[in-house]
């Protein structure tokens, strides 16, 4: 295992949390490298349900966890999440460290995210309203505040004050909002600083030293390949690199040190927020009914925002693109059990665009919007898969479905999840 990266191969919500939770059993260090509290990694431990947003999933296994420099940290969300976990018996404060170079999400990032989305009307992105894009925008513009800045109270407040004027001008004059009370923000953040200070460190040094010592490091991606800021369905994407390269830039680890890249995909496809989605099952007719039939067993509601997820059939072009972008070497397929109910299962093997067949996912969202899926139909299995532990215990048509996924993506399926519990995992 040494250094393993786990990334999403679709539009997020593939079940990365579950896969990381399983792989974390053998890890020494679990590291988040991008995104922020927009993520929602859901794990069941026995009868208990956990939804992690910012803290790496490895925390549930009692592992040392790292929030890397590529993450944007909302100290309010982090404190709340840590306290909730501690109240439920999970040790966070002793097991977590945070990069001093990670950027902070400040209240104006959330307000600007909301105001900007509102101003876009029907053209909105459908963000999680966590201030993610605004925080990354400040990072790129080199006007962001970093976690390490909280070390020096006086300097932190001075920096915050210097930003006050321009942010308030945008809030007020562009969006007609209220001025933010800066002294209060400063006070609030100093309280968080007090709590977080012992956790703040040079995490790139820590991770590289762990690798030097032969430790197993698991890099936990958030969102998915098609939400990547560079390669996703721009502008309907997030603001960080959710492909495997982000694991290097978001932690300070060389690409040469990465051993394995695991892609996580659902046995079908979902996305939340706006943007093109060729295989989406839409409307209130038969298609809508099929989507609804998957929503309940698949628990297809956003774990951060509670929004019902959009649902569609498996799209081989999406996953093939993710395989290329991240160099995925093995696949974990989640939610196979949700397909137990169907007589026949369509899978998308190409697109029709302007009267021509396409086998490659287009880089342009405008083009993607005009693509119509070309399906082949596979036989369903109409059998309960939720108790399978080995591939041989899956129904023959279930195995055939997985084999077809491997053929279409060029990658072996090494793990299959057939329900939310830890023991509903099929390997070997
Ligand atoms: P943001 O990351 O909050 O700016 O949202 C941008 C887009 O990414 C929206 O379509 C969100 O729904 C989507 N998104 C962000 N985080 C996740 C996630 O963890 N799972 C699925 N979609 C996400």
Contact 244, 327 (CB under 8 A): yes
Within 10 angstroms of residue 38's Cβ, the number of other Cβ atoms is: 28
144 pLDDT band, cuts 50/70/90, is: very high
Contact 409, 378 (CB under 8 A): no
Best residue for ligand 1 mutational test, from 11, 127, 270, 365 (most atoms within 8 Å of Cβ): 127
Tokens of 369: 């919007």
Straight-line distance from the first to the last Cα atom of the chain, in angstroms, rounded to the nearest whole number: 17
Q: What is the mean pLDDT of residues 297-302?
A: 92
**pLDDT tens track for 32-81:** 999 999 999 999 999 899 999 999 999 999 999 999 999 999 999 999 99
1 pLDDT band, cuts 50/70/90, is: low
Share of the chain above pLDDT 90, in %: 92
Task: Decide if pLDDT at 136 tops 70.
Answer: yes
**pLDDT tens track for 258-279:** 999 999 999 999 999 999 999 9
Q: CA 168, CA 226: separation in Å to the nearest integer? A: 33
**pLDDT tens track for 200-235:** 999 999 999 999 999 999 999 999 999 999 999 999
Q: Ligand 1 atom closest to Cα of 35? A: 2
Q: CA 223, CA 236: separation in Å to the nearest integer? A: 12
Q: CA 82, CA 198: separation in Å to the nearest integer? A: 14
Contact 411, 422 (CB under 8 A): no
DSSP states of 129-165 as a string? SSSHHHHHHHHHTT---BGGGGGSHHHHHHHHHHHHH
Q: CA 117, CA 123: separation in Å to the nearest integer? A: 8
Question: Can you give the pTM of this predicted structure?
Answer: 0.96
Q: Any bridge partners for residue 42, and if so which?
A: 51
Contact 195, 79 (CB under 8 A): yes
Q: Ligand 1 atom closest to Cα of 13? A: 20
Q: What is the mean pLDDT of residues 179-191?
A: 91
Q: Ligand 1 atom closest to Cα of 128? A: 3
298 ligand 1 Cβ < 6 A: no
Q: CA 172, CA 393: separation in Å to the nearest integer? A: 61
Task: Decide if pLDDT at 284 tops 80.
Answer: no
Q: What is the mean pLDDT of residues 158-186?
A: 89
Q: What is the mean pLDDT of residues 127-155?
A: 95
Helices 153-169 and 182-196, axial angle in degrees (round to 10): 140
**pLDDT tens track for 345-374:** 999 999 999 999 999 999 999 999 999 999
Identify the pLDDT of residue 113: 96
Identify which has the larger pLDDT, 161 or 373.
373
Contacts of 369 (CB under 8 A, 6+ apart): 276
Map out the domains of the chain with their CATH numbers: 2-102+199-262 (3.40.440.10), 103-196 (1.10.300.10), 265-427 (3.90.170.10)
13 ligand 1 Cβ < 6 A: yes
235 ligand 1 Cβ < 6 A: no
Q: What is the mean pLDDT of residues 82-105?
A: 97
Active-site positions read 13, 41
């Amino acid at each position: 295992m040494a250094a393993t990266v786990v990334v999403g191969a679709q539009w997020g919500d593939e079940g990365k949390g579950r896969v990381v939770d399983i792989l974390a059993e053998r890890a020494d260090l679990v590291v988040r490298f991008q995104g922020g509290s927009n993520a929602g990694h859901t794990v069941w431990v026995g009868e208990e349900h956990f939804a992690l947003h910012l803290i790496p999933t490895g925390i549930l296994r009692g592992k040392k966890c790292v929030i890397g420099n590529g993450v944007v940290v909302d100290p309010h969300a982090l404190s709340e999440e840590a306290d909730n976990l501690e109240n439920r018996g999970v040790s966070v404060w002793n097991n977590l460290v945070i990069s001093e170079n990670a950027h902070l999400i400040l209240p104006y990032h959330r307000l600007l995210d909301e105001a900007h989305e509102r101003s876009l009307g029907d053209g909105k992105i459908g963000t999680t309203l966590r201030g993610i894009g605004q925080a990354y925008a400040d990072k790129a513009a080199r006007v962001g505040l970093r976690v390490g800045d909280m070390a020096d109270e006086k300097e932190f407040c001075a920096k915050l004050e210097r930003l006050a004027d321009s942010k308030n001008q945008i809030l007020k004059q562009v969006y007609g909002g209220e001025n933010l009370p800066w002294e209060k923000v400063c006070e609030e953040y100093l309280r968080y600083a007090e709590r977080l200070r012992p956790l703040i460190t040079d995490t790139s040094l820590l991770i590289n030293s762990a690798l030097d010592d032969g430790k197993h490091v698991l890099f936990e991606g958030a969102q998915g390949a098609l939400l990547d800021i560079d390669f996703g369905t721009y502008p309907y994407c997030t603001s960080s690199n959710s492909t495997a390269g982000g694991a290097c830039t978001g932690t300070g680890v060389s690409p040469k040190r990465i051993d394995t890249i695991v892609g996580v995909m659902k046995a079908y496809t979902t996305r939340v927020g706006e943007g093109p989605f060729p295989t989406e099952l839409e409307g209130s007719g038969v298609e809508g009914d099929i989507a609804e039939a998957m929503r309940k067993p698949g628990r297809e509601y956003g774990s951060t925002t509670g929004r019902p997820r959009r649902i569609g059939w498996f799209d081989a072009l999406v996953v093939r693109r993710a395989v290329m972008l991240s160099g995925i070497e093995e696949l974990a397929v989640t939610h196979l059990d949700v397909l137990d109910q169907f007589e026949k299962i369509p899978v998308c093997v190409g697109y029709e665009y302007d009267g021509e067949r396409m086998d490659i996912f287009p880089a342009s969202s405008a083009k993607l919007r005009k693509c119509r899926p070309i399906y082949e139909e596979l036989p369903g299995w109409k059998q309960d898969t939720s108790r399978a532990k080995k591939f041989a215990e899956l129904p023959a048509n279930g195995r055939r479905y997985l084999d077809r996924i491997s053929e279409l993506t060029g990658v072996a399926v090494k793990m299959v999840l057939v329900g939310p519990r830890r023991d509903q995992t099929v390997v070997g």
